[in-house]
Every structure is written in structure tokens, then in C-alpha cells.
């Protein structure tokens, strides 16, 4: 009886999938695999590494036994049974701090990159399309923004405004929207001259349709590479701020762990640094290298001639 229901249920699911048009799903899956196989070995390692860190962040409650911000043992216990990676000076578990810290880095990286990448990109496309005074004004603003020394200003602004995740994200967005805007603008300017766009306009395409259907899909891949670059920049900046003691005190991030460990008075004269300082350091470098591999490979895939300048 139960078996029958299960079989019936399975058949139902199968019918449902077939109804969903299995070809389409197949096509999406195979196109993802095809895109993936265009990456080099380094790029594949990068994608795999970032995927692992995302899993770690998402399933942090499942793969840790202790809460990250509660005292769950003696202070400075070396790695071993009980505490997988040992504990810090307050007796908090380091492995769970690492797992929950991944959330912080990924959130900041993703939020800043998406907002400034696509927001800045949209501004750039609009300005490039419209031209005229708005375009000229925007170029001035972009010039000034790009000439500002970003890290010292970040330190000062977050010192004055007070450390919170939202503030850090806002300030980072304020400093990183200019590059995507500039590149999107110059791409739009050159795309605008193409015959197919002029033809579409002559057929009576409205500006919004042109931007959405013709220009945005062309600018999109370049923006995507930039987004990865911005996210690693944002992760570095957050870690740097937290390392200086300007992180959000209510959350645990990798930069914050570095700050706590290095401000511990005699950390370098004791063996504590081996399990307190090394894990966050290793994780940060690993994440940044993975992101770098991916962005390098995507640049290569997009266009071997295209060279997007990196800047910090």
C-alpha cells in the first residue's frame, strides 16, 4: 500500500518534470557544464574553492558543535579532541569562528560587488547612452572618486561613523562604483555606433528596450569580471578594517580574529599563534586566491585582447 503510493508519487514527479520540459533543463545543465569546461585547471580550482567556502558559510550551524560567540571551554586549548581547532583567549571555539566568519566575508564581498558593480554599471550605461552634460558631470565625479585614496579615507570614515556592517558596506560601495561605471560608459559609447543598434533605433525601438535588449547583455560579461574583482577588494578592505579594530564588534569575522590574536600581548612568544592566527590568515588568502584565479580565467575567456586594469 505504502509502496504503491510511493511509486505513484514518483510517477507523478516524473510526469511533472516531463511537463516542465526536460529538454530545457538538460540544455541549462549542459550549458553550465560547457561553460565550466572552458575554465583552465586554476579556474576550476578557484570555483571549487569558493564553492566550498560558500557551503561552509551556509551550513555553519551543521558542521560546528559550539556556538562561535560563547565560552565553551578553557582558554587557549590547543587543537585536538573536543575543540577541532582549539580555542582563543576567551575559550571560544576557533573552528566555529572560522565557519561563521566566512559568512561575514562573503556577505560583504557579495553585497558590495553586486550593488556597486551593477549599480555603477547602470549609471555608466545611462550616462554613456544619454551623453551631454550629464555624461560630462558624471565623468568629473568618477575622476575625483577614483583619485581619492580609498583605504585611508575608509579608516577615517568608519572611525567617525562607528563600525557596523551596513556602514562598512555603504562606504565600500561609495568607493568602488566608479570603475564599473567608467568601463560600462566607454563600452556603451562604442556599442552605440554599431549598425545593428542604429538599425534597431530606426525601427522605432524605445531607449529602454535598446538598453535592456542590446546594450546591457553586451556590457554584462565585462561587469561580471569587475564584480569579482570588486568583491575581493571589498573582502580585503573589510579584513583590513577589522584588523585595525574597526570591524563590527557584534560579529565575528576573519579580520576580527586576526585583530584579537595580534593584540594579544605575548602571542608571538607563545605557541598560541599556531592555532589562533594561522586559520583566519590561511582562509583569507585561500578565498582571495580562488577569486583571483576565477577572475583571471574569466578575463581570458571573455576576450584575450581585453585587459581590465586592476587597482587597489
The CA–CA distances, whole Å, from 98 to 27, 105, 168, 235 equal 38, 11, 20, 15
48 interacts with other proteins by CB under 8 A: no
Q: How far is the CB of 243 from other proteins (least distance, A)?
A: 7
Exposure letters 27-51 (e unless 16+ CB within 10 A, then b): eeeeeeeeeeeebeeebebbbebbe
292 interacts with other proteins by CB under 8 A: yes
Query: Looking at 63, 198, 285, 306, which residue binds other proteins (CB under 8 A)?
Result: 285
x/- site string to other proteins, residues 205 to 234, per CB under 8 A?
---------------------------x--
- Those residues with Cβ within 8 angstroms of residue 94's Cβ, 6 or more apart along the chain or in another chain: 83, 85, 86, 87, 88, 257, 275, 276, 279
Residue 53 or 284 with smaller CB distance to other proteins: 284
181 interacts with other proteins by CB under 8 A: no
User: How many helices and strands in the chain, by DSSP H and E?
Assistant: 15, 0
284 interacts with other proteins by CB under 8 A: yes
236 interacts with other proteins by CB under 8 A: yes
Closest CA to 226 of 302, 151, 284: 302
Q: How far is the CB of 240 from other proteins (least distance, A)?
A: 5
The CA–CA distances, whole Å, from 116 to 123, 144, 153, 222 equal 10, 16, 18, 14
Q: How far is the CB of 56 from other proteins (least distance, A)?
A: 19
Interface contacts to other proteins, rule CB under 8 A? 140, 143-144, 147-153, 155-157, 159-161, 232, 236, 239-240, 243-246, 258, 262, 268, 273, 277-278, 281, 284-285, 288-289, 292, 296, 311-312
Amino acid at each position: 500500500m505504502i509502496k504503491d503510493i510511493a511509486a505513484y508519487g514518483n510517477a507523478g514527479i516524473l510526469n511533472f518534470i516531463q511537463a516542465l520540459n526536460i529538454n530545457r533543463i538538460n540544455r541549462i545543465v549542459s550549458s553550465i557544464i560547457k561553460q565550466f569546461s572552458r575554465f583552465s585547471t586554476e579556474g576550476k580550482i578557484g570555483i571549487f574553492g569558493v564553492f566550498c567556502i560558500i557551503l561552509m558559510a551556509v551550513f555553519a550551524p551543521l558542521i560546528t558543535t559550539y556556538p562561535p560567540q560563547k565560552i565553551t571551554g578553557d582558554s587557549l586549548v590547543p587543537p585536538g579532541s573536543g575543540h577541532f581547532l582549539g580555542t582563543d583567549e576567551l575559550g571560544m571555539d576557533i573552528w566555529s569562528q572560522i565557519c561563521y566568519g566566512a559568512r561575514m566575508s562573503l556577505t560583504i564581498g557579495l553585497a558590495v560587488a553586486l550593488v556597486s558593480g551593477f549599480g555603477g554599471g547602470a549609471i555608466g550605461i545611462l550616462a554613456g547612452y544619454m551623453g551631454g552634460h550629464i555624461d560630462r558631470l558624471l565623468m568629473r565625479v568618477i575622476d575625483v572618486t577614483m583619485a581619492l585614496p580609498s583605504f585611508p579615507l575608509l579608516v577615517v570614515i568608519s572611525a567617525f561613523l562607528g563600525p557596523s556592517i551596513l556602514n562598512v558596506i555603504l562606504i565600500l560601495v561609495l568607493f568602488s562604483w566608479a570603475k564599473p561605471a567608467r568601463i560600462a560608459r566607454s563600452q556603451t559609447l562604442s556599442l552605440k555606433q554599431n549598425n545593428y543598434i542604429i538599425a534597431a533605433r530606426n525601427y522605432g525601438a524605445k531607449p529602454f528596450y535598446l538598453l535592456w535588449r542590446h546594450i546591457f547583455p553586451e556590457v554584462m560579461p565585462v561587469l561580471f569580471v569587475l564584480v569579482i574583482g570588486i568583491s575581493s577588494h571589498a573582502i580585503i578592505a573589510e579584513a583590513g578594517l577589522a584588523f585595525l579594530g574597526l570591524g563590527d564588534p557584534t560579529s565575528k569575522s576573519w579580520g576580527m580574529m586576526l585583530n584579537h590574536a595580534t593584540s594579544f600581548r605575548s602571542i608571538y612568544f607563545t605557541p598560541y599563534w599556531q592555532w589562533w592566527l594561522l586559520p583566519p590568515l590561511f582562509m583569507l588568502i585561500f578565498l582571495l586566491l580562488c577569486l583571483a584565479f576565477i577572475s583571471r580565467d574569466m578575463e581570458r575567456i571573455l576576450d584575450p585582447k581585453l585587459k581590465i586594469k586592476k587597482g587597489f
